[in-house]
Amino acid sequence: MDGGNQPNIAPVLILLGPPGAGKGTQARMLEEKFGLVQLSTGDLLRAAVAAGTEAGLQAKEVMEAGGLVSDEIVLAILSDRLEEPDCANGVVLDGFPRTTGQAEALDKLLFTKGQAVNAAISLEVDDVKMVFRVTGRFTCGACGEGYHETFKPPKVEGICDVCGAQDMKRRADDNAKTVMSRLDAYHAQTAPLLAYYAERGALKKVDAMGDIGAIAGALSKIAERLTA
Ligand code: AMP
């Protein structure tokens, strides 16, 4: 099934890649530039954990260990979010699907809406460098600006360059041990999706080791063709 370039069908883009590949950063860029809604199952799950919902309580331990939350929980959270009106103009999925079961369920769900996955973009990176990237990152809790201890420290330690807040946050699962488990989960359960989408003619590969602007440019070209 291929949604192709049909302009009357809202585009569905998927970003694939290991932790630290830049899925969140690039999904936000695509949201701003093309009006696609960024849907991050990691963010939705973290919100469920923070809110103490039943799904959040079940997900918390698995997330802290760097494993994958059950397809059942993730699919329920994602399909609810997809029903919201803002998703009608198209979405960029960040961190979903992560298993073949999730990919098949997504295809079925989209089929009922007359949609399909238009492009599954693999952000190609070097795993070892990713561990360093992920363990050094943190964000401003007030405005969401991202930082890195080495690559992008704030001008004044502890103070956000953008909004001035003093509320830097690190994800609980961005420690070396959990990142290794997350990488293992990626290779065992998510990497097979590259073949899944290649067979369906939807896979695109983008070199994601270089400059953020160049990566954004490559992704924009793909998105332009789908949103034209
Ligand atoms: P992320 O923010 O995408 O790095 O996800 C953080 C954590 O949330 C992962 O390590 C998983 O434990 C869980 N998670 C996020 N998305 C999924 C998904 N699609 N399937 C299963 N677990 C997920």
Distance (Å, rounded) from C-alpha 55 to C-alpha 199? Answer: 33
**C-beta 17 within 6 A of ligand 1:** no
The active-site residue, picked from 23, 46, 60, 133, is 23
Per-chain mean pLDDT for the chain: 92
Q: What share of the chain is helix, strand, coil (3-state, %, to 5)?
A: 50, 15, 35
Dihedral sign for Cα 104, 13, 65, 70, please: negative
Give the whole-number percent of the chain exceeding pLDDT 90.
85
Q: Which strand (E) or helix (H) includes residue 203?
A: strand 203-207
Task: Please tell me whether the peptide bond between 154 and the residue prior to it is cis, using omega within 30 degrees of 0.
Answer: no
The answer on pLDDT for 8 being more than 80 is no
Pocket test for ligand 1, best of 14, 16, 98 (most atoms within 8 A of CB): 98
- Estimate to the nearest angstrom the gap between the alpha carbon of 186 and the chain centroid: 13
List the catalytic residue out of 46, 133, 137, 204. 137
Tell me if 47 sits within 8 A of 40, measured CB to CB.
Answer: no
State the pLDDT confidence band at 5, using cuts at 50, 70 and 90. very low
Q: Which of 99, 152, 90, 94 is nearest to 123 (CA)?
A: 94
Cβ(62) – ligand 1 distance below 6 Å: yes
Cβ neighbours of 32 (radius 10 Å): 10
Q: β-pairing, 168-169 with 137-140?
A: antiparallel
- pLDDT tens digits along 124-172: 999 888 898 999 999 999 998 999 999 899 999 999 999 999 999 999 9
Confirm if 92 and 13 have CB atoms less than 8 A apart: yes
> Is 137 noted as a catalytic residue in this protein?
yes
pLDDT at 114: 87
CA-nearest residue, atom 6 of ligand 1: 42
Name the H helices within the chain: 23-34, 41-51, 54-65, 71-82, 100-112, 127-135, 176-185, 192-199, 212-227
pLDDT class of 9 with cuts at 50, 70, 90: low
Q: Write the pLDDT tens digit of every residue in 67-100.
A: 999 999 999 999 999 999 999 889 999 999 999 9
